[in-house]
Amino acid sequence: MREGIAILGATGSIGASTLDVAARHPERFRVVGLSAHRDVERLAALCEQHRPDYAALADATRAPELEARLAAAGLDTRVMVGPQGLMELAALSEVDVVMAAIVGAAGLQPTLAAVRAGKRVLLANKESLVMAGPLFMREVRERGVTLLPIDSEHNAVFQCMPPDFDRGLDSVGVSKVLLTASGGPFREATADSLKAVTPEQACAHPNWSMGRKISVDSATLMNKGLEVIEAHWLFDVPPERIEVVVHPQSVIHSLVAYTDGSVLAQLGNPDMRTPIAHAMAWPERIEAGVAPLDLVEVARLDFQAADKVRFPCLRLAYEAMEAGGTATAVLNAANEVAVAAFLDEGLAFTAIPLVIEETLAALGTAPADDLETVVAWDRQAREHATSLLARHGRRRHTA
């Protein structure tokens, strides 16, 4: 029987890689639903190509345009609208597997809807765990949901962990999780030169092709910070047992260290179709269209310590995780505001951590026991971070 898959964030980079893997295995996967925020043109083109039964658009104002395009293409794809439409798509009875690949906080509620509906969830939207780790994992456990990580690092850790890691790391002999980081495009840059970084430079990642927000996060190392928090919740590993190692070649995607001195690593070319195919077929393996790894061509694997002074976002993420409660939702929200302002050329690259640090200091933390609290703190943090932009902001480039 073919598995029905819904892709939240189908028009993005992870969405494209997921559709590529699904199209390689039509005997195995049926695309039931696709979602986007407001890129109607791309969503309509994907519907023509993959013929899903449903298409969901978060921005309701653009739904008539989508409906018109689908009708003109002779498709009877049903359109679902607004954030509610995304949640309904994730919970459809025809859907077995949900790829959660919306970027940012907007991914939390549709991803939770998939969990609550008992779907197999392939988690790319790390922000869900950063914002609401304890309650998200509680729902996963209570509903017996299979949660498979898509982030290449967490997928690698998952592959290197013993299958019964949920018995507790000490019980299964795991001493440490090592997350690798490419170091981003500014690994060798001086602190001073970072002030003048442009969005184009920040988005030009040396090894990975990704959406703009995560590309900037990779350049500030906030992405690694978010991943440390994600690993903490996914594998129930305390912060002091998660180490970040800079590995510029992005060939080792992460490692697990055991008490007997063994260290297991997962290697591969930097192509998101590997972790996506792994999670889509798990526990089996399927072809992903990824070139085989040629170790002789790679020739060398380098490692260095992460620099939390030049890249304060990594430090801020560890601090927010230690503070717990709503602090990581605040971290995430302030980061989203600051990154959007940077991409809009309204904020310097080096002001991103300043906005986040000041927002964290101003708001403090509180217990994050329910979704309403998380959503309220996310909103407050956005308001506060936005109010800081005027002070930290810079004038737009004119030409």
174-181, strands of its sheet edge to edge: 263-267, 252-258, 174-181, 242-246, 304-305
Looking at residue 130, its amino acid is V
Give the residue from 120, 111, 99, 114 showing the smallest Cα distance to 13.
99
**Between 214 and 243, how does the x/- string for binding to ligand NDP read (CB under 6 A)?**
x-----------------------------
- Is the CB of 169 or the CB of 272 nearer to ligand NDP? 272
Of 23-31, 100-108, 136-144, 356-364, which segment contacts ligand NDP by CB under 6 A?
Answer: 100-108
Q: Does 101 bind ligand NDP (CB under 6 A)?
A: yes
CB of 265 to ligand NDP, least distance (A): 18
In angstroms, what is the minimal distance from the CB of 275 to ligand NDP? 8
Residue 58 near ligand NDP by CB under 6 A = yes
Whose Cβ is closer to ligand NDP: residue 100's or residue 169's? 100
Is position 312 an interface residue for ligand NDP (rule: CB under 6 A)? Answer: no
- The pairing of strands 3-8 and 252-258 is unpaired
Omega into 283 within 30° of 0, i.e. cis?
yes
Q: Which of 4, 5, 6, 15 binds ligand NDP (CB under 6 A)?
A: 15
> Per rule CB under 6 A, is residue 39 in the interface with ligand NDP?
yes
Return the residue of 127, 271, 336, 378 that touches ligand NDP, per CB under 6 A.
Answer: 127
Please report whether residue 124 would count as binding ligand NDP according to CB under 6 A.
Answer: yes
Our finding on whether 95 is near ligand NDP (CB under 6 A) is: no
CA distance 53 to 33: 6
Q: Tell me the residue nearest to ligand NDP as measured from the CB.
A: 12
With CB under 6 A as the contact rule, the residue among 19, 36, 277, 381 that binds ligand NDP is 36
- With CB under 6 A as the contact rule, which of the stretches 165-173, 205-213, 309-317, 370-378 interacts with ligand NDP? 205-213
In the set 106, 114, 169, 276, which binds ligand NDP (CB under 6 A)?
A: 106
Report the DSSP beta bridge partners of residue 98: 6, 121
Q: What is the distance between the alpha carbons of residues 125 and 98, in angstroms, rounded to a whole number?
A: 12
The CA-atom distances, in angstroms, between 390 and each of 168, 213, 337, 354 are 47, 21, 12, 13
DSSP string, 13-31: HHHHHHHHHHHH-TTTEEE
Sole window of 203-211, 250-258, 292-300, 344-352 interacting with ligand NDP (rule: CB under 6 A): 203-211
Assign 101 to helix, strand or coil.
Answer: coil
33 lies in the binding site for ligand NDP (CB under 6 A): no
Burial of 399 per CB tally in 10 Å (0-12, 13-18, 19+): exposed
By CB under 6 A, the count of residues binding ligand NDP is: 27
| Structure tokens belonging to residue 62 | 């653009």
Joined together, the tokens standing for residue 355 give 């906005």
Contacts of 350 by beta carbon, 8 Å cutoff, 6+ apart: 191, 194, 195, 197
Mutual orientation of helices 371-392 and 327-343 as an angle, nearest 10°? 40
Please report whether residue 133 would count as binding ligand NDP according to CB under 6 A.
no
Which one of 37-45, 163-171, 239-247, 250-258 is the stretch in contact with ligand NDP (CB under 6 A)?
37-45
Does 258 bind ligand NDP (CB under 6 A)? Our answer is no
The smaller minimum CB distance to ligand NDP, of residues 28 and 42, is found at: 42
- Does position 210 interact with ligand NDP (CB under 6 A)? The reply is yes
* Nearest to 224, CA basis, from 266, 194, 181, 256: 181
Q: 218 or 392: whose CB is closer to ligand NDP? A: 218
Single out the residue of 11, 111, 159, 266 in contact with ligand NDP (rule: CB under 6 A): 11
**In whole angstroms, what is the distance from residue 337 CA to residue 347 CA?**
10
**What is the rounded (10 degree) CA torsion for 62, 68, 69, 75?**
120
Name the residue among 227, 232, 213 with its Cα closest to residue 344. Answer: 213
The residue among 208 and 258 lying less far from ligand NDP, judged by its C-beta, is 208
Question: Which residue in the set 13, 335, 350, 359 belongs to the binding site for ligand NDP (CB under 6 A)?
Answer: 13
Closest approach of ligand NDP to the CB of residue 346, in Å: 19
Residues lying near ligand NDP in the complex (CB under 6 A): 9-15, 36-39, 58, 101-103, 106, 124-127, 151, 208, 210-211, 213-214, 272
